[in-house]
Amino acid sequence: MTGLPLRNVRDLWDNCVAKWPRKTAVIYEGQRWSYQQADAIIRRLRGALAANWELGKGDRIALALPNCAEFFFAHWASVHLGAIVVPVNVRLRPEEMRHVIGSTDCKLVIADERLWPTVKEAIEPLRSVRQAFVVGSVEGAEPYESLLSEELDMELPSIAGDDLLLVMHTSGTTGVPKGVMITHENLLFNVKNCLVAHSWRHEDVHLLVVPMFHCTALYSMLPGSAYLGSTIVIAPRPDLKELVDLIEVHRITTFIGVPMTFSMLTQMPGLAERDLGSLRSISYAGSPMAVAAIKRLRARFPGAELRNFFGLTETLSVTHVLPDCDADQRPDSVGKVLPDVGVMIADEDDEEVPIGQVGELCFRRENVTQGYWGRPGLLEESCFGDWFRTGDLALVDEDGYLYLKGRQKDMIIVGGENVYALEVEACLLGLEGVQEVAVVGVPATGVREALGELIKAVVVPKAGAKLGERDVKRHCAQRLTTYKVPHLVEFRDELPRNPGGKVIKRALV
């Protein structure tokens, strides 16, 4: 007899090992591991972490890794220990990484050799970090492989549904990263929503090209695949030719990505000659998909269903989905709310607005994280009664379709990455010669259409200052992650303001 009652995310994995030991769990760079083979690696990892480094339930483990099999194994080993995974965005600068790792008091870091100089600089001042292991070869650094030397017996801790599993960092409107706390029962809830949203099956082969440190991978794809006993193919990078090769060779059936990836893919030379008929599901999120891109997807992948979906880090990921039948007629909608999710569009008085009227998008409190790591009470500042305010403006039409209309928090989505205007503004105010600055998102057009939005900086120079577009971009590039650097720069004598003195940003678009 096989099959455990699902009390935590570890049970998802153990069920697969018991039910389908020979089924392929993960494929990476031509190597494949069955659930049984992957479980053997996970056992070695968790044993070494527990016995040699005294890591266990509630301890934080930082993963500063790009998409790779080592991320997959380290994540599941941490889950088995009852530890809390802290994924680190590999594009962060040292000071940003230091905040993510240090604010959560991570005891151990596993990093990629290419990131080691950045990670080393980030963790050197941190007293909480006991050890760092490096995937690859770096002189003087402890190799990741040393964690796999032997299998050590250990008694696994009990894990309750309300125990923490992940701390997923997302930038706030002030630019200071906030650690969203995700429990085991949060993940189990999202997994079931994903089955509805994406129509995943046991026999699916999922292409994992979205960053593994993002919520789509860790909230949905890894636990969702384990729930079903399906297979994940990890793409090490979003190289279009490599992605097409993976689809063809491994007979990929599902593909989640950002619109930019799919828009570029459909324009790839020679695509029509490739055997990509296995692909049955294409899901995208992060920004609207251009109608022209949807038409190209239909032509290139006639057997694939297209789905737009939406969710937030705080809302346990996916909350809405636009099904294939509506992808062409309603490309500007993120779809309808999923069955177990509560949603309301509210006015400034916390009252529900009439159908078709713009208000603030709110979610039922049960569908939202319990809070932010180390910042008690912060989440509650965005709540009223049983509802959580997202800061996003939206409307729901008479048929129940949700349309996003803007972001009160000044968030700009560039190629699926969230950029907060205040962070860019704060950076530019540090540039010599800048008097005032306002940053807004504008629709991407032309060759950059697939990015969804571009970052526009409107700068008011100080009297006599000589500033050019190159100065602004160079200053940001030296201080911000690449995708946060403004694409457009405009100089003005003054910023438009309302009678209360606030900048009218809509006049800058």
3-state DSSP of 242-287 = HHHHHHHHHCCCEEEECHHHHHHHHCCCCHHHCCCCCCCEEEECCC
Q: Using N-to-C axis directions, what is the helix angle for 94-103 and 116-123, rounded to 10°?
A: 50
Q: Which residue has the tokens 């080691």?
A: 116
Of residues 490 and 446, more confidently modeled: 490
The answer to whether residue 503 is domain-embedded is yes
Question: 392: part of which helix (H) or strand (E)?
Answer: strand 387-396
Statement to judge: residues 404 and 415 lie in one domain: no
CB 50 within 8 A of CB 154: yes
Q: From residue 322, give the alpha-carbon distance in Å to each of 139, 306, 325, 333, 444.
A: 50, 8, 8, 7, 22
For residue 441, the enclosing domain spans 411-508
The answer to whether residue 478 is domain-embedded is yes
In this prediction, residue 2 carries a pLDDT of: 66
pLDDT bin (cut points 50, 70, 90) of residue 499 is very low
Q: Which residue has the tokens 């949700």?
A: 402
Statement to judge: residues 439 and 391 lie in one domain: no
In this prediction, residue 317 carries a pLDDT of: 83
Statement to judge: residues 443 and 502 lie in one domain: yes
> Which tens digits make up the pLDDT trace of 242-292?
999 999 999 999 999 988 789 889 989 999 999 999 999 999 987 667 788
Residue 404 carries which DSSP code?
E
Show which of 161, 183, 205 is a domain's final residue: 183
In this prediction, residue 405 carries a pLDDT of: 75
pTM: 0.85
pLDDT bin (cut points 50, 70, 90) of residue 500 is very low
C-alpha 64/C-alpha 176 separation (Å) is 19
Statement to judge: residues 504 and 357 lie in one domain: no
Show which of 358, 376, 409 is a domain's final residue: 409
Statement to judge: residues 404 and 427 lie in one domain: no
Statement to judge: residues 371 and 483 lie in one domain: no
Radius of gyration for the chain, computed over Cα atoms and rounded to the nearest angstrom: 23
In this prediction, residue 287 carries a pLDDT of: 67
Statement to judge: residues 368 and 400 lie in one domain: yes
- Structural domain total, the chain: 3
> Which tens digits make up the pLDDT trace of 369-421?
999 999 999 999 999 999 999 988 889 999 999 998 766 667 788 998 888 78
Query: Which residues, including other chains, have CB under 8 Å from residue 374's CB and lie 6 or more apart?
Result: 103, 104, 179
pLDDT bin (cut points 50, 70, 90) of residue 174 is very low
Rounded to an integer, what is the distance from CA 300 to the centroid of its chain? 27
In this prediction, residue 172 carries a pLDDT of: 46
C-alpha 487/C-alpha 474 separation (Å) is 11
Statement to judge: residues 41 and 162 lie in one domain: yes
Beta pairing partners, 311: 318
The candidate with the shortest Cα–Cα distance to 87, out of 216, 203, 191, is 216
In this prediction, residue 372 carries a pLDDT of: 96
The candidate with the shortest Cα–Cα distance to 26, out of 245, 232, 226, is 232
Statement to judge: residues 369 and 437 lie in one domain: no
Statement to judge: residues 380 and 359 lie in one domain: yes
Question: Mean pLDDT across the stretch 297-304?
Answer: 94
Calculate the average pLDDT of the chain: 92
The answer to whether residue 206 is domain-embedded is no
Pairing of strands 84-87, 453-461: unpaired
Q: Which residue has the tokens 């384990």?
A: 226
CB 11 within 8 A of CB 216: no
Statement to judge: residues 385 and 434 lie in one domain: no
Show which of 183, 205, 232 is a domain's final residue: 183
Question: 454: part of which helix (H) or strand (E)?
Answer: strand 453-461
The candidate with the shortest Cα–Cα distance to 402, out of 299, 500, 312, is 312
The answer to whether residue 197 is domain-embedded is no
C-alpha 256/C-alpha 376 separation (Å) is 34
Pairing of strands 488-491, 453-461: parallel
- Residue 95, pLDDT > 70, answer yes
Statement to judge: residues 103 and 50 lie in one domain: yes
